[in-house]
Chain A
């Protein structure tokens, strides 16, 4: 017979990497991302009694993560952190030896340049594989909003990554 904590760990811990991956692209620095994931997991653990077994635990955890991120009081602080954050400089002179590394840097910068709302939708739908309907539930917005944010995010990324695409297809 598993204890409640063991049950929680068994169903929630496998999603830690996915939560951290998304948190790192929401928060301004790795330490804030880890704090956000810790906060999410502890909130989930405290509210585990209310979790309905058999429902989508991954979507449940991501909802908590995004609500914690957008939570009252933190919104302004995180926005400020975000504003003060300088994207990693990437000049032509930088010594990038590997094309894949260069592409990863370009994509990371293009992602960070997106508005948080667009980035959130892109991370959920494109990277984490949630449907638009599921992303709408996680972000607590209508599905139409998710679809339009996703479309705008793709358009923006495409513009920013266009030089890279030319390189790739040259």
Chain B
């Protein structure tokens, strides 16, 4: 049997199988739109919506619209990267990955960001709002970016949609995946911060992170 004959037999055998994807498709659509909810869940959702609306109104009236962790990230980027304070950084990728793993961040996250085409220059741990984040510095052309990673924290309240904000001269884009919280910071350019965040989200998605 030649390769072609073998391939043809395997392909014909598998492709002749009839698959009914309709129930699966319905289930995926339902989970995507989350249209179906039991009554108790509707009541809970309504209660939650009230709390969220109250919180939102409070923040609109009395608080900053930029999440505290993003304010902290913008300040950290400004101090540590833009002003280049002398600090100890790791530049060896396996060492950075090992540091990440120690703090609950999958090593694949670093590999995934590498696939975006941005160049990893250095990394270290830092504290943002009393929480440990992995601070990574990336470059692309003349642009210098900071990426702050931490394992997903449901209390952060931001989800898989990329959001943008700014603080002082820093532009930020941030999101959470199933496993990670990520904040991308760039000086001056909102588009560049967003582009890196989009590439990062895509890489995390394909890496199932």
Compute how far the CA of A72 lies from the CA of B106 in the bound complex, rounded to whole angstroms. Answer: 9
* Smallest CB separation, B125 vs chain A (Å): 21
The residues of A that contact B11 with a CB separation of less than 8 Å are 126-127
Report the stretch among A47-55, A77-85, A87-95, A141-149 that lies at the interface: A47-55
Compute how far the CA of A104 lies from the CA of B25 in the bound complex, rounded to whole angstroms. Answer: 26
B165 within 8 A of A: no
Known contacts A38-B24, A49-B198, A127-B11; A161 and B208 CB within 8 A of each other: no
Compute how far the CA of A63 lies from the CA of B115 in the bound complex, rounded to whole angstroms. Answer: 13
The residues of A that contact B197 with a CB separation of less than 8 Å are 50
B83 within 8 A of A: no
* Smallest CB separation, B56 vs chain A (Å): 22
Compute how far the CA of A123 lies from the CA of B14 in the bound complex, rounded to whole angstroms. Answer: 9
Q: Is the interface of B mostly helix, strand, loop or mixed?
A: helix
Within 8 A of A (CB), among B157-209: 160-162, 177-178, 197-208
The residues of A that contact B28 with a CB separation of less than 8 Å are 13, 16, 37-38, 41-42
Contact between chains at A46 and B19 (CB < 8 Å) = no
The residues of B that contact A152 with a CB separation of less than 8 Å are none
Contact between chains at B162 and A43 (CB < 8 Å) = no
Contact between chains at A49 and B162 (CB < 8 Å) = yes
Known contacts A50-B199, A64-B206, A126-B10; A20 and B16 CB within 8 A of each other: no
Report the stretch among B1-9, B38-46, B63-71 that lies at the interface: B1-9
Contact between chains at B27 and A38 (CB < 8 Å) = yes
Compute how far the CA of A126 lies from the CA of B14 in the bound complex, rounded to whole angstroms. Answer: 10
Compute how far the CA of A20 lies from the CA of B17 in the bound complex, rounded to whole angstroms. Answer: 11
The residues of B that contact A45 with a CB separation of less than 8 Å are 32
Scoring A49, A51, A161 by chain B CB atoms within 10 A of each residue's CB, the highest score goes to A49
Contact of B206 (CB < 8 Å), options: A16, A67, A104? A67
The residues of B that contact A41 with a CB separation of less than 8 Å are 28, 32
Known contacts A47-B177, A50-B199; A17 and B1 CB within 8 A of each other: no
A to B CB contacts below 8 Å, 20 in the list: A16-B25, A17-B19, A37-B24, A38-B24, A42-B32, A47-B177, A47-B206, A49-B201, A50-B198, A50-B205, A51-B202, A52-B198, A63-B206, A64-B205, A107-B10, A123-B14, A127-B10, A154-B6, A158-B6, A162-B1
